[in-house]
């Protein structure tokens, strides 16, 4: 995949050069290529103006024209092609965040590396280009991004760059929470997130982000720093942090962080069941109402909170498969059947209540999942008139 991306990118660059423009592969693709990591997308910088790019390539998408960026759909691939933000390539690279991302690759395979990014890759250093303070003034999110790269790459933040973060940390408050959330999510899911979070807390950067106020004390605890690497997605991370921090309203917190509705709903359900899950094994009811995917997430969070070496995922999956029903659709009785059992004067609101009662009875095997058996059981237990 990566070789095809690079080959096609070089053909795209040839087309720009044939029209008299400069063009280079830049950014993360070059960095990851040099680190022998998988490359999934490629960005290109060029001396061409967006109108020139659109004139050369028949299929483009306008995504950030005010920033000079156009998506070019070319030979079955898509590339972000951005005009120089300065008169020359060297000046354009100077405006990038870190030296390891300020390397350009020519289509002949030669590197253009005026700020010694390749040396920093070898030294495993995150270093701001030329003047870190200026780079962070241009975009304060870069301060958090530095720690994200520590997490993903296992690098260390260069001393001058770290000092610039501590001196300019208050500027992070200007950044939209959506952007902060995206970087924090990538940081938490990196393979070296414990090291990254330690540096982040040392910098006191998150003290300037009000949305962290309810949970930042958790990130100072060794138990939590060691727990996060065992989790697999942000639903699990948020569940751990919000439960441990005793956040009263998970939904309000996560809405402030602009999290997707599914994440919010899943975290709410997992954190609501964690208190009981920490005292006993998963019941059939737990597995049923969580569902297999949320149950696995809840189990990972439970395991790290209990300091267990490994979550019991296989046991969870095995027990889930043994459930007599896995959702309401599996019930042998439905709302219409229940209505027929009620007197006209009885509230139809009872339908949902009775379905819930039947669900739990079938799950606990107090009654067979058979329509006639369920009706007999409802009558026998006095839930409906005989």
The confidence score (pLDDT) of residue 93 equals: 97
Tell me the average pLDDT across 235-259: 97
In our burial notation (b when 16+ CB lie closer than 10 A, e otherwise), range 71-107 reads bbebeebebbbbbbeeeebeebbbbbbbbbbbbbbeb
Q: What percentage of the chain reaches a pLDDT higher than 90?
A: 88
Among residues 97, 179, 100, 101, which one has the least CA distance to residue 137?
97
Query: pLDDT confidence of 346, banded at 50, 70, 90?
Result: low
- Of residues 382 and 46, more confidence is placed in 46
How remote is the C-alpha of 73 from its chain's centroid? 26
Q: Tell me: pLDDT of 21 over 90.
A: yes
Encode pLDDT of 135-170 as tens digits. 999 999 999 999 999 999 999 999 999 999 999 999
Give the per-residue pLDDT at 343. Answer: 74
For the cut 90, the answer to whether the pLDDT of residue 200 exceeds it is yes
Nearest 5°: phi and psi at 232? -110, -15
Do 1-122 and 224-323 fold alike per CATH? no
29-74 confidence digits (pLDDT tens)? 999 999 999 999 999 999 999 999 999 999 999 887 778 899 999 9
CATH 1.20.58.560 assigned to domain 224-323? The reply is yes
Q: Does domain 124-213 have CATH number 1.10.110.30?
A: yes
Tell me: pLDDT of 281 over 50. yes
Q: Which is nearest to 234 in space by CA: 205, 272, 270, 199? A: 270
pLDDT, greater one: 15 or 383 = 15
Q: 123 or 347: which carries more pLDDT confidence?
A: 123
- Its pTM stands at 0.90
Q: What is the DSSP string of 338-379?
A: HHHHS-TTS-TTHHHHHHHHHHHHHHTTSS-S-HHHHHHHHH
Give CATH superfamily name and number for 1-122: Beta Polymerase, domain 2 (3.30.460.10)
Contact 117, 103 (CB under 8 A): yes
Q: Is the pLDDT of residue 386 over 70?
A: no
What does the pLDDT read at residue 1?
43
* Domains of the chain, residue spans: 1-122, 124-213, 224-323, 329-380
pLDDT surpasses 70 at 126: yes
């Amino acid at each position: 995949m990566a070789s095809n991306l690079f080959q096609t990118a070089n053909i795209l660059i040839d087309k720009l050069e044939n029209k008299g423009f400069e063009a280079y592969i830049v950014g993360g693709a070059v960095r990851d290529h040099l680190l022998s990591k998988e490359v999934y997308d490629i960005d290109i910088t060029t001396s061409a103006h967006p109108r020139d790019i659109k004139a050369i390539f028949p299929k483009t998408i306008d995504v950030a024209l005010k920033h000079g960026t156009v998506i070019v759909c070319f030979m079955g691939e898509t590339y972000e092609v951005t005009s120089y933000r300065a008169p020359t390539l060297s000046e354009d690279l100077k405006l990038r965040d870190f030296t390891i991302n300020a390397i350009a690759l020519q289509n002949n395979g030669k590197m253009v590396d005026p700020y010694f990014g390749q040396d920093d890759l070898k030294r495993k250093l995150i270093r701001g280009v030329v003047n870190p303070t200026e780079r962070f003034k241009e975009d304060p999110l870069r301060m958090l991004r530095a720690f994200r790269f520590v997490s993903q790459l296992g690098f260390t933040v260069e001393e001058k760059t770290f000092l610039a973060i501590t001196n300019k940390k208050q500027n992070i408050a200007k950044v939209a929470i959506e952007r902060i959330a995206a970087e924090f999510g990538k940081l938490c899911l990196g393979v070296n997130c414990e090291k990254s979070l330690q540096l982040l807390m040392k910098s006191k950067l998150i003290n300037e982000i009000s949305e962290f106020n309810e949970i930042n004390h958790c990130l100072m605890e060794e138990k939590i720093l060691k727990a996060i690497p065992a989790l697999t997605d942000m639903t699990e991370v948020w569940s751990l942090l919000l439960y441990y921090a005793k956040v009263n309203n998970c939904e309000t917190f996560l809405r402030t962080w602009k999290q997707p509705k599914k994440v919010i709903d899943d975290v709410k359900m997992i954190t609501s069941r964690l208190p009981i899950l920490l005292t006993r094994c998963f019941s059939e009811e737990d597995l049923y109402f969580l569902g297999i995917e949320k149950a696995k997430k809840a189990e990972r969070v439970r395991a790290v909170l209990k300091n267990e070496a490994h979550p019991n995922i296989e046991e969870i999956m095995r027990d889930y498969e043994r459930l007599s029903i896995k959702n309401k659709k599996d019930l042998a009785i439905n709302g219409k059947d229940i209505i027929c059992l009620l007197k006209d004067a009885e509230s139809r609101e009872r339908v949902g209540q009775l379905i819930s009662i039947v669900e739990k009875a079938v799950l606990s095997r107090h009654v067979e999942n058979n329509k006639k058996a369920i009706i007999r059981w409802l009558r026998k237990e006095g839930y409906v008139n005989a």
